[in-house]
Amino acid sequence: MSDVEKIRCDACPVMCFIAPGQTGACDRYANEAGRIIRTDPVVMLSHAVEAGHRIVPFAARAWDGDPMPKDTFVTAIGSGTTYPDYKPAPFIVSSSIEGADMVTVVTEAIFSYCGVKVKIDTDRFLGPEGAAVRAGGEVIGHVTTAEYGSQMLSLGGVHHLTGGSKAEGRLTCAAMLSLCNGEPVELTIDGGSSVVVQAGQPPIVDGTPERRMRVGCGSATIGMFAVQWQGLVDEVVVVDDHITGVVSEHQAGKVLGWEPTGIKIIGQRSTPGRYFRVSEPGLGWGGTKLTDPLAILGAWNPKKGARPGLRLLMVSTTGEEFAYYELDAALQPQEMPLPEALRASVGLIDENCEPSLCTVLFMGGAGGSLRAGVTKNPVRLTRSVQGRETVLTSGGAETYVWPGGGITFMVDVTRLPKGAFGYVPTPALVAPLEFTLPRAAYVAMGGHEDSIKTLEAVMAEGGEYPTEARLERWPK
């Protein structure tokens, strides 16, 4: 086959030569009978659509004029890009929203400056803060600061995508694409664990699925449930990697009238009833390395309330680990079966723990030249987004736009329709963006007024690349 039969695709910087009947390196564009087409359908969303979807061909694919629901929203999924960016966006659609004339500008943006922020609901030790996170052996990010009941990862970014080896860039791009499209990815953390992450699903840490995130730290658990334990047990220790709580010393216990027990906690005392660093972090009780909670106890002091028969409950912040002890004549705790009266209180901790899930946020900088597809004066778009005159969505999903310069946004990938993200082998991710604003404001900012079309015209004429449309119900 000669190069003459191939045609060049200019939808991204790779500029593939595509043979008839074949796709480019990204699998998103193909050569059909000598014309570049977009292989995926444009996704349109409507609340009026029942569960599932239906294919709605454009005029280029024999659209029969079947009217669209009035609330139909054209997303950027499947729309195509503005690359090399001097072109107007693939779709600039006029609409009426609550009686106001609006315009939605739709484009698939190519992101080298992008990453994913991953929130993993677990107290289990995943790795030291700042430790490298790997996929397929290549470093693709790092562990960042822990948050309440969750471990956080920062993955991707321009330096991993384009600043290292080809393998690093390729595997970074592949991992981010899978995560953003809701697929599982196995990550390994230097000096820590292996974890399987999938948006909206429980994390799997070293082969074990997590079930619950903690109800609170040890101190908070004491504060919430001290009343439930009063009269049933003499002492409660809630074991936690961050703050271990002791009810008889805690202010909640003091207010409720708990008597001193002479307990001794081996750890760094913070304030009464609150202890730091009772253990190194790990996969044991409350995110510690402990498999035996008695390891954090010193000698009991009979001068401060310790006595034979004293009842002790030790429990983790999720209620998954618990043990009941009574002090013998030598003031040594002896494990006993958990009394039925305490089972309900342990179960209450479990009941108040939320399911452990992975959250994946795509984060990108929508600056650069893609703004030229929206307006002839790009800085006006930035100011309009920052001023909240223009609403930025991604695949129809609400985004959070960071304050400060540029258009830096985050979006929960589970809010987008399936398969919303793509890639180009530069390497970079491709994400859908929609800019919605009043028509008058769009014209005033120097928008491509000549390219504005009604939804009916879009359906009748299609876009720059022949494709199909898929009408779906808005994701919940």
- Is residue 430 in a domain? no
Contact 130, 180 (CB under 8 A): no
State how far the alpha carbon of 400 is from the alpha carbons of 106, 348, 388, in Å: 18, 35, 11
pLDDT tens figures, 293-345: 999 999 999 999 999 999 999 999 999 999 999 999 999 999 999 999 999 99
- CA-closest candidate to residue 240, choices 270, 262, 203: 270
Name, in order, each residue with C-beta under 8 angstroms of 330's C-beta and a sequence gap of 6 or more.
none
- Is residue 24 in a domain? yes
- With a cut of 50, list the residues of the chain below it in pLDDT: 1-2
Concatenating the DSSP letter of every residue in 165-220 gives: -HHHHHHHHHHHHHHHTT--EEEEETTS-EEEE-BTS--EETTEE--B--SS-HHH
| Domain termination site, one of 330, 351, 372 | 351
| Domain termination site, one of 303, 328, 351 | 351
- Is residue 97 in a domain? no
What per-residue confidence (pLDDT) applies to 4? 58
pLDDT tens figures, 196-238: 999 999 999 999 999 989 889 999 999 999 999 999 999 999 9
Distance CA 383, CA 193 (A): 43
Helices (H), ranges, 230-374 = 251-256, 340-351
Q: Which domain, by its residues, includes 6? A: 1-39
Strand partners, 435: 105, 392
**What does pTM read for this prediction?**
0.88
Q: Count Cβ atoms below 10 Å from residue 139 Cβ, excluding itself.
A: 16
State how far the alpha carbon of 95 is from the alpha carbons of 58, 104, 397, in Å: 18, 8, 18
Annotate 82-102 with b (16+ C-beta within 10 A) or e (fewer).
bbeeebbbbbbbbbeeeeeeb
Please tell me the total count of domains within the chain.
Answer: 2
Distance CA 258, CA 306 (A): 13
- Is residue 476 in a domain? no
Q: Count Cβ atoms below 10 Å from residue 418 Cβ, excluding itself.
A: 11
- Is residue 328 in a domain? yes
- Is residue 421 in a domain? no
Backbone dihedral angles phi then psi of residue 441, each to the nearest 5 degrees: -65, -35
| Domain termination site, one of 318, 351, 384 | 351
- Is residue 261 in a domain? yes
- Give the tokens for residue 313: 């409950």
Contact 390, 401 (CB under 8 A): no
What per-residue confidence (pLDDT) applies to 283? 86
Name, in order, each residue with C-beta under 8 angstroms of 270's C-beta and a sequence gap of 6 or more.
243, 276
Contact 443, 14 (CB under 8 A): no
Placement of tokens 């180009």 in the chain: 424
- Is residue 26 in a domain? yes
Distance CA 333, CA 323 (A): 11
Fill in the amino acid letter for 81. Answer: T
What per-residue confidence (pLDDT) applies to 11? 81
Distance CA 216, CA 212 (A): 11
Helices (H), ranges, 86-190 = 158-162, 166-180
What per-residue confidence (pLDDT) applies to 1? 43
Length of the chain (residues): 476
